[in-house]
Amino acid sequence: MATEPLSAGTDGGALDALAQMLDTVPDWALIALVAVVAAAAGTMIGVAISRRDGPVSGDADEETESRQIEQEAKPALPPPENPAIKAYQEFLDSKGIAARELDARMRDFATQFKEMRQNLRDLSPGEPSLDVQVENIRDLLDAGDLEAAAGLLTEMGLNENRDGLAKRQLSTKHLMAAAVARMVAGDLNMARMEFTEAATLYAQAIESLPSSEESIHAEYLNKHGTACYQAGDHTAAIASFERSLDILQAKLGKNHPDVAAGLNNLALLHYSRGNYDAAEPLYKRALSIDEQTLGIDHSGVATDLNNLALLYKRQGNLEAAEPLLKRALGIKHKNFDPGHPSLVTGLKNYASLLHALGRDEEAEVFEAQAEILPPARTAAAE
């Protein structure tokens, strides 16, 4: 009787069929098959292990590396046996600081502790006898007596501040005395027409001045600029006038009469050097400031008008100069008696311009007025 074949779903039959098949396969093919199966099994095992240990994406690797860097960036805690660190931890414990905050505070203090010790090494009191006290403070800090160290440092700060202020006041007094002495010496040399020596003394006076004396600083710079101008050092004169002007504008504002005076000084220097383009805007600005702050009929405004007019005359612009000199002369007539030097100068300046314009008859009238003596001198002559 014929035997029925086994079903493929039966385990025993499947194994028998596999065995019959393997009997017919050459040995070399079996070896290759075993190698392929082993490689596949190894790959599957590796994937399973990777999935079990964690994500394998690139982002995950970067996140892991970032966490490692953050951990490395934290300042290391000093050795626990350090007395100062132990004392600070006990202090935090007494305040009931939470564990998470405690760790952060301890690390911060570890960094600060190193800085404090370095600062104490650099601390050099003004009074040498206090060096011993600094050593005591260092010892207290190292020993963990933070309260005592803070108390001694506070006391030292108060004492050093008091002594420093007293010495600063004494130093300021000495420096002011030196500055004034040099300034007056400079004035005397200016009177003796020793302009170079005066400029040197004014420069020394400026060096002696305490930095807080800004107004006096601007005044001395003006004196120095004038002396340098008279000595022929125009470059140094311009530098001093410009520095003085900067100080005045910062302290008084841009529309103050003293600023106008500084502008006139600087403009005059440019004018004397033939730099008319630099002088004109300075003269105009000075005139505008004085008109606003002093009034349109003030003698200072007349001076500004005269300066600007002479600049135009030097440039050959006589038509622009004439109304300015005429207005300046009118202001001087209101402010000064006949024969006053400023009025006489205004009359002569205007007469000179009229001659230049070919108006000689008009010029002679103003020249005659310039010859009138002041009332006091007229009475004395009689």
Count the alpha carbons within 13 Å of 107 in the hemisphere toward its beta carbon: 12
pLDDT for 80 equals 58
Cα–Cα distance, 120 to 115 (Å, whole number):
9
pLDDT for 37 equals 43
Cα–Cα distance, 258 to 221 (Å, whole number):
13
Helix boundaries (H) for 209-275:
214-231, 234-252, 257-272
Is the pTM above the cut of 0.85? no
Count the alpha carbons within 13 Å of 152 in the hemisphere toward its beta carbon: 17
User: What are the backbone dihedrals phi and psi of residue 245, each rounded to the nearest 5 degrees, phi first?
Assistant: -65, -40
List, in order of start, the domains of the chain with CATH numbers. 83-162 (no CATH), 172-381 (1.25.40.10)
pLDDT for 134 equals 84
Residue 179: closest CA among 197, 206, 215, 212: 206
Q: Tens of pLDDT along the chain (382 residues)? A: 444 333 444 444 444 444 444 454 454 444 444 444 444 444 444 444 444 444 444 444 444 444 444 444 555 555 656 888 888 888 888 988 888 888 888 888 888 888 888 888 878 887 777 788 888 888 888 888 888 988 988 988 888 888 889 888 899 999 999 999 999 999 999 999 999 999 999 999 999 998 878 779 999 999 999 999 999 999 999 999 999 999 999 999 999 999 999 999 999 999 999 999 999 999 999 999 999 999 999 999 999 999 999 999 999 999 999 999 999 999 999 999 988 999 999 999 999 999 999 999 999 999 999 988 776 654 444 4
Q: Give residue 144's region: left, alpha or beta (phi > 0; psi -120 to 50).
A: left
Residue 342: closest CA among 297, 316, 307, 303: 303
Residue 131: closest CA among 119, 139, 141, 123: 123
Instruction: Count CB-CB contacts under 10 A for residue 342.
Output: 16
| Contact between 241 and 271 (Cβ < 8 Å) | no
Residue 11 tokens, joined = 């385990």
pLDDT for 200 equals 97
